[in-house]
Amino acid sequence: MADILKHLDLNSVDGTRLNIDALYQIVPSAFTEVRDDKTGEISRKVNFEVLRRLLGDNATDGDGEMYQFTWVGKNAARAEAAKPTDKTLRPVPEDSVDWDNTKNVYIEGDNLEVLKLLQRSYMSKVKMIYIDPPYNTGNDFVYHDDFARPVAEEDLEAGNVDELGNRFRKNTDTNGKFHSDWCSMIYSRLLVARSLLTEDGVIFISIDDNEVRNLRNICDEVFGEHNFVANFIWEKRLNRENRKEVSVRHDYILCYTKMVEEQKRSLSLLPMNDKALSNYGNPDNDPRGLWKSDPAHAQGGHGTKSQFYTLTAPNGKKHELPSGRCWLYTEDVMNEAIKDNRIWFGKDGNGVPRIKTYLNAKERGLTPETLLFAKDASTNEKAKNDLKDLFDGIAVFETPKPVELIKLFCLLSSKSDDIILDFFSGSSATAQAVMQLNSEDGGHRKYIMVQIPEETPEDSEARNAGYATIPEIAKERIRRAGAKIKADSPLTTQNLDTGFRVYRLDESNYENVSLSPKEYKQDQLDLFANNIKSDRTDLDLLYGSMLAWGVRLDLPLQAETVDGCTIYTVNEGDLVAYFSSGITDKVVAAMADKSPLRVLFRDACFKEDAQKINIYEQFKQALDWADNDAFNNIRVI
């Protein structure tokens, strides 16, 4: 009974467990239960023989030739993506803006670890991801993952050397490591990021010629080739560069959706512009409103026998099909459309038949095009100058993406209350784009920015201006951009959220107590009673536990004092927490009065096990919980 209050699992999601759970939902008959000899616990395991029989001829052992994309280190990258992390995110209110009210989140830290930590709280909740990862120019990049291995080990796996170190082929840039490090870096992150997307979520990835081919192959594997939406070509530069053999004026933006839905667009239509609207009119005063005429015939090869006929107009004129064409409608349907005045024969009735398409009978919008010209999406140079102007003439960041470009993708893929994620956020152009779009359409989109604390170059304008890291630039950019947006449109942006909560990736809140008690000195034994690091605050423990228990980081928080101690309430009861030593009946009553979905205590709250049993029973009685409810809803750390 002493263990009746269950300890909260503080590690991130186990990616392997996610895959097993997903497979179980599809083929439960391929699973069996196995008891662990050491713990006695029963767990589900895959029975591969049953799974193979279910798959029939669609299973392969991987022997022989097959179509696949691989590189040295791919298996290690896949394993790293699935491996849990025990790191945590610590709140930094002093760097934040409007902490109590904002729904936006800014996170400093390596994005692979951060993405893992976000899985429980944000799985299937992010509508759109935009990332601008480091392009592989042959230089080192700052994402040094744990699965990066020595050259000798990679050479051995790639077959470049034998076990004695004898080299078989030259070690050129095209031989493994030049591309494989980059592929491993992006592959592991995309594997985790996919789990955060909603089922109809969309991802946009900026890239150049160096890795666009490999990125396309990786995305085909991670998201599915059938979920490819487009490869946008963005005109990033207006002027020719004569320094190179070919002046490259474009970059790519690959777009994938998590799940293609039948009869549903992956991207929204763009707003109708004046040019598009000018195509609509109403020369015959049709009561159904504005319309435009479209061809009434199509390629004949796609038609059925019933779509080949001589069309008779209301004035008796006969219209024959052009060579190789068929009518869009069968003859009966066409005649009904003519009677209903939905076919246009020109003002004099003698013109070529055309179908009337009504403005109000379809979505008002334009299909986005793969060519993104600078006039619509801006350029790198303008993005850099705009950021320079925002920082009073200081060039704080060399390669920002245009706000207009990212705002376009937000417009195509998100609605009013959606969450937008950028985990290579750089100077946080994405945050500015989200705020700008919200100010224009009255939306309440929320963003999550993630950026590794990369140092600014020595003697750079940014360093000389006092910005030691890229996150320092980004946070200041968001502050300034938010203030400017509100100043530019004061009447329509009073309720615009320009704040953000800052979190910083750090080591676990808890001391490592994996050693057995006899291996510790006498003065270290209190680690087992209180294993929380001395520099951690209540808020560190609270937000770390929220991540572990699947509670979002942007929810409102209230703190109140009861019996001289603090009770924390997240989102009016999503989570109620108490960390002080010494717990009283009055505290328990105050917590239960919140009608909480989750209740959290610190182990040090209890002087003896009997108190845990008493707490368990008090919450059961106060909230009318069954044993199973109490067991699942109360945790200790």
Share of the chain above pLDDT 90, in %: 67
17, 120: one domain: no
Strands (E), 262-404: 291-295, 297-299, 311-312, 318-319, 325-327, 343-344, 354-358, 371-372
pLDDT at position 522 is 45
**Domain ends where: 80, 109, 139?**
80
pLDDT at position 203 is 98
Asked whether residue 418 is domain-assigned, the answer is yes
**Number of domains composing the chain:** 4
Asked whether residue 176 is domain-assigned, the answer is no
pLDDT at position 588 is 93
Short-list 621, 620, 622, 544, CA closest to 632? 620
Q: Would strands 42-46 and 31-35 be described as parallel, antiparallel, or unpaired?
A: antiparallel
Calculate mean pLDDT across residues 501-506: 98
Calculate mean pLDDT across residues 615-635: 93
pLDDT at position 156 is 54
141, 258: one domain: yes
Calculate mean pLDDT across residues 571-585: 93
pLDDT above 90: residue 500: yes
258, 195: one domain: yes
DSSP string, 76-144: HHHHHHHS----EEEE-GGG-BSTTT---EEEES-HHHHHHHHHHHHTTTEEEEEE-PPP--SS--S--
Asked whether residue 163 is domain-assigned, the answer is no
Q: What is the CATH number of the domain that holds 481?
A: 3.40.50.150
CA-to-CA distance for 113 and 363, rounded, in angstroms?
41
| pLDDT band at residue 511 using 50, 70 and 90 as cut-offs | confident
Q: What is the pLDDT of residues 58-88, one digit of tens each?
A: 877 766 677 889 999 999 999 999 999 999 9
129-138, 352-361, 392-401: which is most confident: 392-401
pLDDT above 90: residue 310: yes
**Domain ends where: 55, 80, 105?**
80
Q: What is the pLDDT of residues 156-211, one digit of tens each?
A: 555 555 555 554 444 344 445 778 999 999 999 999 999 999 999 999 999 999 99
Calculate mean pLDDT across residues 405-432: 97
Q: What is the pLDDT of residues 23-45, one digit of tens each?
A: 888 888 888 888 887 777 888 88
Q: What is the pLDDT of residues 271-304, one digit of tens each?
A: 777 777 788 899 999 998 889 999 999 887 777 8
375, 420: one domain: yes
Q: Would strands 250-257 and 228-235 be described as parallel, antiparallel, or unpaired?
A: antiparallel
Asked whether residue 599 is domain-assigned, the answer is yes
**Domain ends where: 292, 327, 361?**
361
328, 438: one domain: no
Domain range for 613 is 519-636
295, 346: one domain: yes
397, 485: one domain: yes
pTM exceeds 0.85 = no
Q: What average pLDDT is seen over the chain?
A: 88
Calculate mean pLDDT across residues 550-569: 96
Asked whether residue 1 is domain-assigned, the answer is no
375, 500: one domain: yes
Asked whether residue 159 is domain-assigned, the answer is no
